[in-house]
C-alpha cells in the first residue's frame, strides 16, 4: 500500500505547491485503489489525493476502506487533512487503519468526535 501510494503521487497535478501526494487503500473485498492530488489555480478547490481515492473506490465497485496510506512522490509519509480524515472515516469506518507518524492508528483515533449522521449511543459516549 505504501509503495502504491508513492506511485500514485507520480501522477499528481501539482504546479502550484509542487507537493505530489498519493493515497492508496485496501478495500474490504481485497482491491487496492489509489488516488493523487489535483491542484488548480483557485487552490482552495484543489482535490486532495484522498478525494480522488474516494472516487476510485466508488468507480471500481464501492465497498469500504480497510486500511489507508498517504505518501509524497518521494515516499515520505503524509497525514490526511481534517476534511480528508472525515471522508476516509465515512468510507472506511472508525476502525479503518491509517499509516501515521505514530504507527498504525484507527481513523477514530486520528479524528475523535467526527461528524456522524446520528449521535452516538449512550454507551459510546462514555
Q: What residues are annotated to the active site?
A: 50
* Selection from 94, 102, 74, 86 nearest residue 14 by Cα: 74
H/E stretch holding 116 reads none
Question: What is the residue-wise DSSP string for 32-92?
Answer: EEEEE-B--TTSTTPBPHHHHHHHHHHHTT---EEEEEEEETT--B-PPPHHHHHHHHHHH
DSSP state of 18: -
Please report the sign of the dihedral spanned by the C-alpha atoms of residue 109, residue 111, residue 117, residue 123.
Answer: positive
Amino acid at each position: 500500500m505504501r509503495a502504491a501510494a508513492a506511485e500514485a503521487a507520480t501522477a499528481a497535478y501539482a504546479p502550484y505547491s509542487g507537493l505530489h501526494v498519493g493515497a492508496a487503500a485496501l478495500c474490504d473485498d481485497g482491491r487496492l485503489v489509489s488516488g493523487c492530488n489535483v491542484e488548480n489555480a483557485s487552490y482552495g478547490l484543489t482535490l486532495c489525493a484522498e478525494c480522488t481515492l474516494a472516487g476510485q473506490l466508488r468507480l471500481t465497485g464501492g465497498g469500504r476502506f480497510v486500511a489507508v496510506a498517504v505518501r509524497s512522490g518521494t515516499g515520505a509519509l503524509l497525514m490526511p487533512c481534517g476534511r480528508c480524515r472525515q471522508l476516509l472515516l465515512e468510507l472506511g469506518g472508525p476502525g479503518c487503519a491509517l499509516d501515521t507518524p505514530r504507527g498504525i492508528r484507527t481513523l477514530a483515533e486520528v479524528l475523535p468526535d467526527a461528524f456522524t449522521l446520528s449521535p452516538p449511543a449512550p454507551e459510546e459516549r462514555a
